[in-house]
Structures are given as structure tokens and as C-alpha cells.
Amino acid sequence: MKQTPTKKQRQKSSNGRPTQADGELSRWNLRLYVAGQTPRSVSAFRNLKEICEEYLKGQYHIEVIDLMENPMLARGDQILAVPTLVRKLPQPIRKIIGDLSNTERVLVGLDIQPR
Amino acid sequence: MSRQIRRNSQPLRSLPKERTGIPGFDEITRGGLPAGRPTLVCGSAGAGKTLFAMEFLVRGATLFDEPGVFMSFEESDHELATNVASLGFDLNQLIADKKLILDYVFIERSEIEETGEYDLEALFLRLWHAIDSIGAKRVVLDTLEALFSALPNEAIVRAELRRLFRWLKEKGVTAVITCERGEGTLTRYGLEEYVADCVILLDNRVQNQISTRRMRIIKYRGTSHGTNEYPFFIDDKGFSVLPITSLGLSHEAPTEYVSTGIERLDTMLNGHGFYKSSSILISGTAGTGKSTLAAHFINAACTRGERALFFAFEESQDQIIRNMRSVGIDLEKFVKKGLLKFQNARPSAWGLEVHLAMIHKAIDDFKPSVVVVDPITNFLAVGDQIDAKAMLTRLIDFLKMRQITGMFNSLTSAQSEIEDSEVGVSSLMDAWLLVRTIESNGERNRGLYILKARGIAHSNQVREFLLTDHGIELIDAYIGAEGVLMGSARSIQLGRERASEVARQQATARKQRELRRKQELYEAQLQSLKSQYETERDAILMELDEEQNRLKEAADQRLEIARLRKADSRGMKIDENGARKARKGAVR
């Protein structure tokens, strides 16, 4: 399941700088917390990217936070587990933990698909 | 117990320990928690787990200058700070001083969706960062089991917790992990499997509607520790554990005396009173003046300038002061001077252990030289006889260690054997006074005996004692042919004795007067006889004189006649002899 990530997929910011955003008005504000470049975090980012491209094209914004470098930030969103995806917008806040390998559950968790 | 950091001075062989600074706890664990290792503190809800953990950190920060991290899974920072503020812990100040970090890990189960694999690295990183940012030596995780309910995948949580404990050990921090107690198990999720070094169980048990907090060290690897259940309590100064069962019989025996406050009673006790630091039992039925005896004892101690502590389990302070004023003892002035302190509580207010703990604490705070417990029998209302006796044994040992003289009042019920002290503690006591009412002739009188006084030559007599407006007065009971008499019987008997005494005195005086009269009479008679004799003697002498003169004259006459007749000389001579004879007779 774990694949070697491509260079494009590894583009991320450790200091909270947004990654390449698709669209000027991002209705979907997503934040992915990871801890280091583990295979799990890499695959989580890849899975997220794929889902977003498929379902939210042009209206999402992903921010990747590496807690290895910024452990302080874990307090803000009450992060315990990594990887954790936080849906900051639209409200309410939703959290999805795990490597996001189950696309269906991610869609349910993000309220893209009804439960 | 000195609160210094002793970790460095401990021998290398033994397990290094981290002093918690919690009063009493470091004594039962012989030095504190295992340093650099996690300790599991389990107990049911409300047992005091969070407080124990928090005090471990606060004391570490304030007493040993060891910063700490408190990671809470249940209460927010604000709630925690507010909760412990009532114990005098200023968390916000400690946080500002970088001595403490509170990290509230809030998990909202409904917000979380799980998809695929994950680990708890984020939590570890949070903890790691908190520890490193202030150089923490102590860590608390309260209550870690919240993870089990927050995260659906128990297998992951277990694996991660195992990793966490290993990691904490590597990090070398002394950690306290609190856990809910499960049904029949120490912890609900079996965390004791992972934390195997030290397990402490906190318990809050209700017996006879009275709750008692107890603590037990279930396991402490690599060290000896007290194995008993130790009572503890939480008051306005935090946690206190009472390692009081560890006392032994190694106390010193002073030879100074302590006055009882009643002169005649001191006289009965070899003239000095009780030995210092001895334990004195005063038993008696209701209304025999036990409390008044105690008040005298306190009065004497405070007058000497010593401190006295009065544990009253039946009366309030004001009531005792008022009642003692009626017998002429002013206790209030000693209270104002700070020499006397009352500790009043109903026995049913707490369990026995807590009572003992409170007494300990009060004694530690006030440092008295004399303690009165009035009455000990009320403890039977809280526990059974075995518990009450065990508690008193520990109290007596404690007082002896501190060289405190203790007076214990014990109420005997009227039906029971008079020498039967209810709690069965008489063998523990050094001295035992018995006050009882003796009923006869339709009245009750108070009698006082000294049943025993170890090491003191004491009077074996019963004394009657009176409660007067100037205190207790001891009076010799009348012991005579009619037995022991007390009260009005004694006074009647004494009156009767006085009357017969007076009569005897009068008879003696009469006899003396008679003797004097006889002597006078005799002397007068002697005088008159003497004068009579003298008169008679004079008369006889006079007659004799006249007779002499007459004889002389007759001889002279005969001589004259002879001369006139010119008688011969021979005849003359005879006559002369005869005349001489006559003269001689006259002289005689």
C-alpha cells in the first residue's frame, strides 16, 4: 500500500506555509498534521491530495504541519495522533485520524458524502 | 522530616528515589517515588488521584526546584488551577515562573473519524516539547485511560502506551500516571501491565456512613516499603499521609514529674504528680468530674507556661470554658494567651483514622506538652473496639515519642464492671485514676482511687472528692469501724466523734481540777497541823523552862539553907551535884 512518494507530492511546508492552493477562494480549509517524513504521513498526504483533486477541485486549501519541527502547534488543534486531518472550514471542525487510506470514510468524515 | 533534596546522597546500590514532598508519603515509601520511572496511581472516582499527582508536581517545583509537566485528559488548565487554589497552590504563578506546564489534552470523540493507520506521535511530541521547554523532571498524566475512550482502536492505544512508558523511562523523568479503578482489577484497562515499577492504590471507603481515605503501596519494585493501608486526608494544606502504624516501643522515659493541678492528688502520687510523657487514664461513670480533673491538669500546665491541647468530643469550647469557670478554673485566659487550644469535633464527623490524623496534625502544628482527649470512649461510636484500641495505641505511642503527657477520659457505663475501661486500653496506660459515685444513705458521693501509677509510690486509699467553686477538693474518706463513710454520713460521723471528743476533754479537765483542789486541801491541812504543833511545842517548852527554873530555885534555896545551917562539906558536895543536875535538866 505504501508507495514511494513523488517529488510533487512531497511539496509541503513545515512552518504552516500553505501548499499550492487550487483556486483563489478556498471554501475548504484543510490542515494535515504529520510527524516527520514517515511513510504513513507521506501516504496520508497523497491520499488527501487525490481525494481533494477528485471531489473538491478548485475549492480547497491544504496546510501541512510537521509537529517534529513545531510541536507547539499540536496544542492548538488538540492533536494526539498523527496523521490527523483537520477540517478548519467549513465549520464545524472535523478531525480524521489515520493515513486516510479509506476514501469513503474520509469523504464521510469531511461531510462531502452524507453518512 | 527534613525537606531537602537527598537524591544525591543516597547510596548507589539502592534504587534512587524522588521525594514527593507530600507529608508522610516519603516516609512510607522510604524516600519517595522511584526516580526516573513511571508510577501508577489508581483509585476510584474521588479518591484523590489528581490531587496527589498535582501535589507531587507542586511540591517538586516549590520544595525541590524540579519543574513538572501536568498533562490532563480530564480537566482544563483553568479548572485545575481553580481546583487546587483552595489548597494554597498558585499554579498560575508556577507557570509564570516556568516551574510548571499544564497541558490539557481535549479529545472530542464525536469530532474524530478514523481512517487507516495512525500513531500517537503527536501526543508524545507535545509532551516532549513541554518537558524540554522547562527542563521538567516530573511528569503527570491524568487520566491516561481517557485515550481508550477517545480513540476507537484499542490495539493502537495499547501499543502506543507501551511505547510511551518506555520512552518516559528513557527520558529519565519521574512520572505519575493516574488510572481509574476497574471492576475487580486495579485499573480499568489493565495499565498496571505496562507500569510495573510502582503501583499505589488510593481508596475512599465508607464504613458506618463515615468515609476514610486510605492509601496502599501495592507494589514497589526494588525497595522495601510500608505494606499497610495508610490513612490519608486532604485538607486546606493538601495531602497528608500518616505513617503512624510504624511507631514502636522505643520511646524514652523521662523522670520529671507533671503536676495534676490538684495538690492533694499530687500528694497521693508521691508528692509530685505523674511522670512526664506518661499516659493517664481517667475512667468513671457519667458526671463524676472527669472533665474537671482534666481541666485542673490543663490549668496547671498552662500556669507553668506550657502549651496544652484539648481534644473535646462532647462539648464545644465555649461550653467547656463556661463549665470550668463554675468550678473556679479560668481557661479562657490561656486560650487568649495562645497556651491552650481546643479542637472540638463530633466523633462521627470522621472515621477513626481521620480523627487520629487530625490529632496528629494538630499536635504537629501546636506542639503542646500536655494533651487531653475527652472522652476516648466516643470513638467506639465510629469504629469497633479493636479499631478504637489500635487507634489509641498509636496515639499513645505518638505522644510518648513526642514526650507529651496525655490524659484520656473514659466513660464507663454504670452497669459494667467499674474497673472495666470500655475501650480496653487500661493496659496501655501508665496511670489510671478511677472516679466513681458511691451511693449510700440516699445520696451519691464522688470517690477517687488511683488504680495504678507505674513507677510512682501512690496512695492506696480512696479519697472523697468535692467539686467546689474553687475547684476540686480531695478529702479523706472516713474509714472506721462502720466502714467507709462519705458525704453527709461522713460529716455526721465526724460530728459524733467531735461530740465524744469534747466530752472526753471535759472529763479530763474535771479530774484535773479535782486533783488541784485535793492538793490545796492537803496543803492547807498541812499548814494548820504545823502551826498547831508549833503552838503546842512552845507551850511545852515554856512549861519545861518554868519547871527548870523552879528546880534551880529549889536547889539554890537548899544550898542557902545548908549554908545557913553550916552543913558539912560532903553533904554540900552532894547537894551541889544535885543542883548541877537540876540546872542541866532545865537547859535540856
pLDDT of residue B584: 56
SS3 B578: helix
Residue A18 domain-assigned (yes or no) = no
| Chain A residues close to B117, C-beta within 8 Å | 40, 98-99, 101
Instruction: List strands edge to edge, sheet with B198-207.
Output: B100-104, B68-72, B138-142, B174-180, B38-43, B198-207, B210-220, B229-235, B238-241
Q: Establish if A16 belongs to a structural domain.
A: no
The CA distance from B250 to B115, in Å, is 66
Rounded to whole angstroms, the Cα distance separating B450 from B461 reads 8
- Enclosing H/E stretch for B411: strand B405-411
Q: In the structure, what pLDDT confidence band is assigned to residue A10 with cuts at 50, 70 and 90? A: very low
Q: Cβ A97–B120 below 8 Å, yes or no?
A: no
Predicted confidence (pLDDT) per residue in B364-394, tens digit = 888 999 999 988 887 777 777 777 887 888 8
- Note the helical H segments in chain A: 39-55, 73-76, 103-109
Determine the pLDDT at residue A14: 42
Which chain A residues have a beta carbon less than 8 Å from that of B118? 40, 81-84, 97-99
Per residue, the 3-state secondary structure of B211-222, as one string, reads: EEEEEEEEEECC
pLDDT number for residue B541: 94
Residue A21, min C-alpha distance to chain B (Å): 24
How far is B321 from B317, CA to CA, in rounded Å? 6
**What pLDDT does residue B517 have?**
95
pTM score > 0.90 for this model? no
Q: CB pairs below 8 Å between A and B: how many?
A: 98
**Calpha distance B45→B26 (Å, rounded):** 24
The structural domain count of chain A equals 1
Based on the number of CB atoms within 10 Å of its own CB, is B293 exposed (0-12), middle (13-18) or buried (19 or more)? buried
pLDDT of residue B551: 93
For A110, which residue in chain B has the nearest alpha carbon? B113
At residue A115, the pLDDT reads 62
Q: Shortest Cα distance from B372 to chain A (angstroms)?
A: 56
B257-476 fold = Rossmann fold (3.40.50)
pLDDT tens digits in sequence order for chain B, 588 residues long: 444 444 444 445 577 888 888 878 888 888 888 888 889 998 888 888 888 999 999 999 999 999 999 999 888 888 888 888 888 888 889 899 999 999 888 877 777 888 888 888 888 888 988 999 999 999 999 888 888 888 888 888 888 888 988 888 998 899 999 988 877 777 778 777 777 788 899 988 777 677 778 888 888 888 777 777 887 878 777 888 876 554 556 677 788 888 888 888 888 888 888 888 888 988 888 778 888 889 999 999 999 999 999 998 888 889 989 988 888 888 889 999 999 998 888 877 777 777 887 888 888 888 999 999 988 887 777 777 777 887 888 888 888 888 899 999 888 776 555 555 555 677 778 888 888 887 777 777 888 888 888 888 888 888 888 888 888 888 777 776 666 777 777 788 888 888 999 999 999 999 999 999 999 999 999 999 999 999 999 999 999 999 999 999 999 998 988 888 877 655 555 555 555 555 555 555
Domain B17-246, classified CATH 3.40.50.300, yes or no? yes
**CATH, residue A57:** 3.40.30.10
Domain boundaries, chain B: 17-246, 257-476, 491-587
Q: What is d(CA B215, CA B39) in angstroms, rounded to the nearest whole number? A: 14
CB contact under 8 A, A96 and B112: yes
> Domain of A56?
28-109
Does residue A9 lie within any of the structural domains? no
Whether A1 maps to a domain, the answer reads: no
Query: Residue B308: what pLDDT?
Result: 92
pLDDT at position A41 over 80: yes
The pLDDT of residue A6: 40
A70 part of a folded domain? yes
What are the angstrom distances between the C-alpha of A36 and each of A78, B170, B439? 18, 21, 93
Mutate which: A80, A103, A111, vs B, most B CBs within 10 A: A80
Residue A25 pLDDT > 70: no
